[in-house]
């Protein structure tokens, strides 16, 4: 077998296992074996790049970032459905169908997945283009992002010459929870719900972002086929499943009464499904009858979407507990008598913060009304004060951290209370993962999963413990081994010389990110001289300000901070500044970068601008001093021209920094 034949064979084998895993839910090989097949294909394609094709399974990781999405006019309009909200409206739909269709007719009922609707185009079995629904007539070309969705087949067997399928991109509940947990560790804003997370991921200009979100797709309609025509909608769904598409589960019924019963069953059991669903759909099964019924100006006459009302139930408050999140935020949580709500048993709900408790006037012993926000997260809607027992008292969050006893402070820009200790056990994972992250000490190979293993094994309790690790102890951990352990020890040793700016960023001091850390490192020769500075001195530094200066001095005054610094000193971590002292030629100037730069990455150009006292902004305004434009510059360039902002090339920028 030559190389080309082996590559073709590997692609077919991988797509076969993708179908078994994503469509039929019946994998026959382990994840490890699948990964080995994929690694072999990647190796062969790297050695023979001329044999790489767009439909190769290796191309799901995301290609080059786009400057904008191109408009796509749909060959077949992507219509929306008429919403109904009661059983009476469902029966009225059935009666209407009985009156309009003289022949016998049947129905198909499907769950309505809450995601982002897509048109998927195939030519000779190869996926060639995918577009959002848009206004139903024109959408946006998101082909590169769709290639990253592993459940979407990039090539199908026994396909017609041309095929258009409609599907729904979604984020599973499990992936959504994992993604939010990781965002919490990194101190990022949590995503509101899976639907918004999927929509935001699919509209990222950089496909690598979409690839990292682990999106799925489920198909529910055959829009067009150049092959043999089908008689019913059910036949098209079965055919799509046979081709390798993940297809919406459906049930066929002869009467509208059976359809309504099925919709009720779906509503009661939707909590067990892996995806969010915001309703159920009833469709006429016969394609010929659909064509005869046609559509109104807004929606087809042959289908309706039943939208489930949010389920609300009362329960009694047993207790209010306070948890410390991975970012140090104290979060009150109400414990209630268990109830069945939206398909799952609920025994607790978040109260967010003290302001929300005060707004509800919530007390232990109260009867509260609960619902699930976005069908996932239980929340308290209101308190039934008519059922309040005597002798209750208002609840107040503690003034010290319940995990470590350190003082807590209220965010000046919000309602959250936050533990101030850098060594708080509740924040351990987040603090260590941040310390090792790329923007901080940049310890390669020390991701969240490895941090968890080190913490769970008892090897690491604080970030400073990383510098006292031994290779043998790391090698004994699951999925590590001697080589991985040696590599990690080498990366940790290398980080000892990362310098003051990275160390300050790694400390996780509030409002001291990469930019502020570099600014401080350019003003102070080492950590000790910075620690000796008081608030008045610090706030004189441009872009530091009184609030940030207060956070810095407060952090350095904590006993836990002093303990961590001394352990780092003993471990030989450098406290010296590595920042090159440059002039302030860009002081007071704001730059905006747009398009593809050839001489610098955007991060490199931004760092250069900031090192000379300038500011790199993401949006163009009248206050913008320069727009640095690369190839294929988009709307920012247009806006700069309209505002009369000076536009410079990379060559001009290079001259400015000489």
Beta bridge partners of 612: none
The two structure tokens encoding residue 543: 């872009």
What kind and span of H or E run contains 221? strand 216-225
Q: How far apart are CA 509 and CA 420, in angstroms?
A: 9
Please provide residue 306's backbone torsions phi and psi, each rounded to the nearest 5 degrees.
-85, 125
**Coil, helix or strand for 401?**
coil
Q: Are strands 377-384 and 417-419 parallel, antiparallel or unpaired?
A: unpaired
DSSP-assigned letter for residue 157: S
Q: How far apart are CA 536 and CA 543, in angstroms?
A: 14
What kind and span of H or E run contains 503? helix 500-507
User: How many other C-beta atoms are found inside a 10 Å radius of the C-beta of residue 521?
Assistant: 23
Give pairs for 176-183: CB < 8 Å, separation 24+. Answer: 176/376, 179/213, 179/214, 182/448
Of residues 19, 112, 214, 518, which has the active-site annotation? 112
Tell which residue, 265, 241, 242, has the closest CA to residue 253: 265
Residue with token string 């048993």: 345
DSSP-assigned letter for residue 21: I
Tell which residue, 236, 248, 244, has the closest CA to residue 23: 244
Backbone conformation region of residue 348, classed left if phi is above 0, alpha if psi is from -120 to 50, else beta: beta
The two structure tokens encoding residue 512: 């001291």
User: What stretches of 561-643 adopt beta strand conformation (E)?
Assistant: 590-594, 615-617, 626-629
Tell which residue, 270, 145, 273, has the closest CA to residue 203: 145
- First CA to last CA across the chain, in angstroms? 56
Give pairs for 209-214: CB < 8 Å, separation 24+. Answer: 209/62, 210/62, 210/145, 210/148, 210/149, 211/60, 211/61, 211/62, 211/148, 213/171, 213/175, 213/179, 214/150, 214/171, 214/172, 214/175, 214/179
Q: How far is CA 71 from CA 131, 140, 523, in A?
A: 8, 5, 49
Q: Are the beta carbons of 161 and 151 closer than 8 angstroms?
A: no
Q: How far apart are CA 553 and CA 394, in angstroms?
A: 35
Beta bridge partners of 332: 322
112 is catalytic: yes
The two structure tokens encoding residue 430: 């987040």
Q: How far apart are CA 581 and CA 244, in angstroms?
A: 59
User: How many other C-beta atoms are found inside a 10 Å radius of the C-beta of residue 2?
Assistant: 6
Q: How far is CA 213 from CA 59, 89, 204, 256, 535, in A?
A: 15, 38, 11, 39, 42
Tell which residue, 151, 184, 181, has the closest CA to residue 165: 151
Q: How far is CA 267 from CA 89, 109, 248, 389, in A?
A: 17, 12, 16, 34
Residues serving a catalytic function are: 112
């Amino acid at each position: 077998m030559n190389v080309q034949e082996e590559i073709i064979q590997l692609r077919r084998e991988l797509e076969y296992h993708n179908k078994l895993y994503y469509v039929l839910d019946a994998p026959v090989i382990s994840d490890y074996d699948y990964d080995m097949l994929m690694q072999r294909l990647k190796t062969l394609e790297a050695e023979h790049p001329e044999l790489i094709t767009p439909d190769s399974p290796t191309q799901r990781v995301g290609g080059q970032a786009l400057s904008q999405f191109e408009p796509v006019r749909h060959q077949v309009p992507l219509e929306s459905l008429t919403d109904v909200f009661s059983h009476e409206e469902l029966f009225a739909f059935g009666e209407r169908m009985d009156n309009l269709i003289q022949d016998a007719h049947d129905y198909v009922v499907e769950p309505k997945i809450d995601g982002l609707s897509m048109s998927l185009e195939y030519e000779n079995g190869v996926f060639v283009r995918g577009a959002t629904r848009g206004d139903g007539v024109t959408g946006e070309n998101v082909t590169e992002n769709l290639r990253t969705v592993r459940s979407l087949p990039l090539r199908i067997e026994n396909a017609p010459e041309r095929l258009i399928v409609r599907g729904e991109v979604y984020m599973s509940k499990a992936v959504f929870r994992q993604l939010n947990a990781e965002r919490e560790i990194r101190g990022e804003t949590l995503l509101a719900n899976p639907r918004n997370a999927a929509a935001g991921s699919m509209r990222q200009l950089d496909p690598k972002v979409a690839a990292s979100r682990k999106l799925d797709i489920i198909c529910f309609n055959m829009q067009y086929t150049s092959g043999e025509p089908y008689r019913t909608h059910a036949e098209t769904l079965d055919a799509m499943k046979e081709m390798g598409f993940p297809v919406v589960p459906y049930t066929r019924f002869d009467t509208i009464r059976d359809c309504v019963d099925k919709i009720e069953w779906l509503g009661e059991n939707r909590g067990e499904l892996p995806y969010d669903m915001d309703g159920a759909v009833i469709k006429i099964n016969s394609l010929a009858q659909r064509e005869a019924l046609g559509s109104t100006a807004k929606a087809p006459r042959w289908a309706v979407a039943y939208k489930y009302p949010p389920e609300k139930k009362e329960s009694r408050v047993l207790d209010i507990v306070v948890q410390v999140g991975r970012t140090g935020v104290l979060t009150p949580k109400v414990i209630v008598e268990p109830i069945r709500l939206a398909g799952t048993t609920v025994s607790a709900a978040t109260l967010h913060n003290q302001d929300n408790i005060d707004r509800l006037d919530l007390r232990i012993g109260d009867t509260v009304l609960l619902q699930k926000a976005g069908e996932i997260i239980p929340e308290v809607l209101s308190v039934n004060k008519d059922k309040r027992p005597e002798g209750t008292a208002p609840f107040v969050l503690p003034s010290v951290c319940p995990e470590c006893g350190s003082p807590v402070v209220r965010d000046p820009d919000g309602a959250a209370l936050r533990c101030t200790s850098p060594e708080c056990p509740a924040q351990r994972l987040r603090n260590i993962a941040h310390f090792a992250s790329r923007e901080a000490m940049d310890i390669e190979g020390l991701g969240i999963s490895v941090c968890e293993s080190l913490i769970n094994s008892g090897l690491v309790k604080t970030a400073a413990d990383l510098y006292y690790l031994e290779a043998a102890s790391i090698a004994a951990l699951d999925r590590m081994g001697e080589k991985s352990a040696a590599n990690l020890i080498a990366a940790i040793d290398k980080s000892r010389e990362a310098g003051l700016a990275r160390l300050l960023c790694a400390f996780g001091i509030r409002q001291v990110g990469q930019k502020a850390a570099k600014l401080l490192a350019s003003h102070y020769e080492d950590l000790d001289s910075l620690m000796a500075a008081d608030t008045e001195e610090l706030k004189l530094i441009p872009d530091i300000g009184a609030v940030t200066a207060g956070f810095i001095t407060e952090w350095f005054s904590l006993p836990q901070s002093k303990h961590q610094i001394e352990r780092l000193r003993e471990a030989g971590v450098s406290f010296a500044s590595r920042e090159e002292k440059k002039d302030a030629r860009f002081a007071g100037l704001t730059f905006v970068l747009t398009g593809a730069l050839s001489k610098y990455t955007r991060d490199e150009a931004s760092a250069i601008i900031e090192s000379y006292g300038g500011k790199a902004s993401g949006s163009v305004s009248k206050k913008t001093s320069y727009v640095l434009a690369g190839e294929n510059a988009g709307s920012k360039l247009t806006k700069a021209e309209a505002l009369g902002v000076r536009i410079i090339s990379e060559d001009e920028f290079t001259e400015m920094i000489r």
